[in-house]
Amino acid sequence: MKKIYFLLSLFLFGAINSSRAQVNILYTPDSINMECFTGTALFDFVVNAEAPLYSPSDVPVIFIDFGDGNSITYNYTDFALTYPYINYNTLYAYTAPGIYDVTYIITMPDMATDTVINYSSNSVFPCELVSGTVYHDVNSNCILEVADNPLEQLVIANDAITGNFLAAEWTDVNGYYELAVPAGSAVELTLSPMYSSSIYVCPATGVITTTGPSSGNDFALNSTGFDLIPSASGGFFQP
């Protein structure tokens, strides 16, 4: 799921402000939010605004048009708790692939409003599955056999043409992974570095390029010992 945040500067990046009254939606434009369609595609919407010239007892009305013919209207009764800010979030599931414009309107009791339109902000695309297994190839023959052991790894899928990140998933106890990626896209699969002494057996480059749906995208690794790569972080502390 993705979040749409609103923090000032309504004139930026395709957002249109149709009213600058006594309530202001605070907005920061975000990149296009993308979700894979598997029957539904769930998005998280977060609306932040300010209305300092009103009473905490007032009830702002929040309207969100999701761009697919559906909308929601919500009476914000928590204004007394968050005054002078309006903080509201909701989940919504699209039920069909598409690219959706989303409209947000906040109306105060005196009918003062502020409106933001985010063009093409939510993209829902058909998806397909790519899968495989990551394992310790004991005899380096690129064949998953009984003597081979599954490995815990984070498998990363990037668009093979643009390099954009698409998905990531940890392998299960059997070394198996399954990723949902955009249908018809060329996908580049890699592993996140975890073992300091491991080497790729198949593929030797450590990169698999495929298109969905596809299975058997296996990573065979070998090593004298699978030691985790150490990492540490810290900072300077002065009492």
Q: Residue 111 — left, alpha, or beta (φ > 0 → left; ψ -120 to 50 → alpha)?
A: left
Bridge partners, residue 85, by sequence: 50
pLDDT at 227: 52
Residue type at 227? D
* pLDDT band, residue 19 (cuts 50/70/90): very low
Q: Mind listing the pLDDT tens digit for each residue in 67-85?
A: 999 999 999 999 999 999 9
Give pLDDT, residue 80: 96
What span, in angstroms and rounded, lies between the C-alpha atoms of 205 and 220?
Answer: 11
Average pLDDT over residues 34-59: 89
Q: List phi, psi (to 5°) of 21.
A: -95, -135
- Indicate whether 17 pLDDT > 50: no
User: What are the CA-CA distances from residue 227 to residues 13, 71, 139, 152, 193 (Å)?
Assistant: 46, 52, 19, 12, 11
Least confident of 87-96, 98-107, 228-237: 228-237
Q: What is the dihedral of CA 89, 156, 215, 39, to 10 degrees?
A: 10
Q: Are 222 and 197 in contact (CB under 8 A)?
A: no
pLDDT per position as a tens digit, 152-209: 999 999 999 999 888 899 999 999 999 988 888 899 999 988 766 678 999 999 999 9
* Per-residue confidence (pLDDT) for residue 179, from 0 to 100: 93
Contact assessment for residue 107 and residue 61, using Cβ atoms and an 8 Å cutoff:
yes
Out of 28-32, 173-177, 223-227, the most confident range is: 173-177
Mean pLDDT of the chain, nearest integer: 83
Question: Among 37-46, 83-92, 163-172, whose mean pLDDT is lowest?
Answer: 37-46
**Distance separating alpha carbons of residues 92 and 64, to the nearest angstrom:** 10
At residue 128, the 3 state secondary structure works out as strand
pLDDT tier, 32 (very low <50, low <70, confident <90, very high otherwise): low
Question: Strand order of the sheet with strand 208-211?
Answer: 165-170, 154-159, 186-191, 208-211
Buried b (16+ CB within 10 A) or exposed e, 44-64: ebebbbbbeebeeebebebbb
At 194 the pLDDT is 74
| pTM confidence score | 0.59
Q: Report residue 227 CA to chain centroid gap.
A: 31
Q: Which of 33-42, 213-222, 225-234 has the lowest mean pLDDT?
A: 225-234
pLDDT of residue 118 exceeding 80, the answer is: yes
Mean pLDDT, range 78-102, rounded to an integer: 93
168 within 8 A of 154, measured Cβ to Cβ: yes
Contacts of residue 88, defined as CB under 8 A and 6 or more positions apart, other chains included, come to 46, 47, 62, 74, 76
pLDDT higher at 147 or 225: 147
Domains and CATH numbers, the chain: 3-124 (2.60.40.10), 126-222 (2.60.40.10)
Paired strand residues for 99: 123
